[in-house]
Amino acid sequence: MAREREVRDDELTDKLVSINRVAKVVKGGRRFGFSALVVVGDRKGRVGFGHSKAREVPEAVRKATAIGKRRMIRVPLREGRTLHHDVEGRFGAGRVLLRTAPAGTGIIAGGSMRAIFECLGIQDVVAKSLGSNNPSNMVHATFNALERVESPRMVASRRSMRVSELGARRPEQRPEREKRSVRKKKGEATFIIASSERAAQLKKEREERAIEMARRWKEVEEAAAAKKARKAARAAAIAAGEITDHGKKSGKKKKSAEADDTTAAAVADAPAVAEVQETKADDKQDAAAVTESKESKKFKKSKEGKKSKESKKPKKDKKDKRVRGRKSTTSAGDGR
């Protein structure tokens, strides 16, 4: 951004956004000139811009100003001070974001966007450049965003509605006629028809779900109360000695009677038990004698077998081995 200037002519204000020296290569050399980018506005919602070149700076500015006056657009403002809604603009590598702001915010923008807002008459706005910082690209992207701004009256006229019918109202508060809403999904527009009947159906379903949830919650509370009562009754029974901690009934009298019966039966059957034990001991002794006799027989057989095998094997003469070995050595020496 080079410099700014304000000139009022027929209630119009123009601001010089940027000026750049350019050169044209010809046969005899290079011809130098100047290009100017100018923004023009009336501070009441109308703004335009122009870009031109000339051999001198004043001529380039004059031509750009004339072009800007011919290319002015009208932008709807809310309360004459800010935009109606947030908007984004693009041009080439330039991308800008314009957002509405409450009263007293001021113009929070830089570069060429500030000149545009001042000529337009906006008092409160927040702007951010998200792409190229080239003044030309930024001006074109800002105007692309301003051209997309719409007022409630423009939206109502496009939808064939009244301004009072616009707004975020609930489906049951809308008129009886069907309305069309657009939902963007995966790059395609899907049209959903929402009517008052559908709204009433949804309301009824919500009420039924609320009743069902209340019923379930009541059942849960009743189950919890019953469980608490059972715990209290069990604790009282344990304290009174009717049941133990493990839930078994306390029968001390029954246990003592059963013990007396078992002791009497054991005293009566004592002789028979002694006879049975004696017979078992005799059986064990007989079995041990049989096993000992079997093992002794096996041992004797194994010893006799070993002796017979040793007797069958021929005895080797150690002296013959030594003589043979000497003969072999002597024969080997003779061969050498």
Candidates 50, 37, 147, 140; CA nearest to 95 is 140
The answer as to whether 106 is a domain residue is yes
**pLDDT, position 54:** 93
Gap between the Cα atoms of 121 and 125, Å rounded: 11
pLDDT at site 304: 59
pLDDT of residue 47: 93
Q: What is the pLDDT of residue 111?
A: 81
What pLDDT score was predicted for residue 7? 43
CA–CA dist 216, 106 (Å, integer) = 56
> Do residues 116 and 48 touch, judged by C-beta distance below 8 A?
no
Does residue 226 belong to any structural domain of this protein? Answer: no
Using alpha carbons, select from 109, 45, 113, 135 the residue that is nearest to residue 82: 45
Neighbours of 290 (CB within 10 A): 10
| Cα–Cα dist 90/13, whole Å | 25
Residue 40 lies in a domain: yes
pLDDT value of position 143: 94
Domain count, the chain: 1
pTM of the model: 0.48
pLDDT on residue 299: 64
Output DSSP code: residue 182: E
Answer whether residue 288 is part of any domain: no
Q: Which long-range contacts (CB under 8 A, 24 or more apart) does 129-132 make?
A: 129/94, 129/95, 129/96, 130/95, 130/96, 130/97, 131/90, 131/93, 131/94, 131/95, 131/96, 132/92, 132/93, 132/94, 132/95
Quick check: is 315 in a domain? no
Task: Classify residue 175: in a domain, yes or no.
Answer: no
The parent domain of residue 84 ranges over 13-153
Q: Establish if 227 belongs to a structural domain.
A: no
The residue count of the chain comes to 336
User: Is 303 part of any domain?
Assistant: no
What's 127's domain CATH number?
A: 3.30.230.10
User: Can you tell me the distance from the alpha carbon of 61 to that of 109, in angstroms, rounded to the nearest whole number?
Assistant: 24
Tell me the pLDDT of the chain (336 aa) as tens digits: 434 444 445 678 899 999 999 999 999 899 999 999 999 999 888 999 999 999 999 999 999 999 999 999 999 998 888 999 999 999 999 999 999 999 998 999 988 899 999 999 999 999 999 999 899 999 999 999 999 999 888 888 888 888 887 764 544 445 544 444 444 444 444 444 455 777 888 888 999 999 999 999 999 999 999 999 998 988 888 888 777 766 555 554 445 555 556 665 665 666 666 666 777 777 777 777 777 776 766 666 665 555 555 555 555 555 555 555 555 555 545 544
Geometric angle at alpha carbon 27, from 21 and 28, rounded to 5°: 75
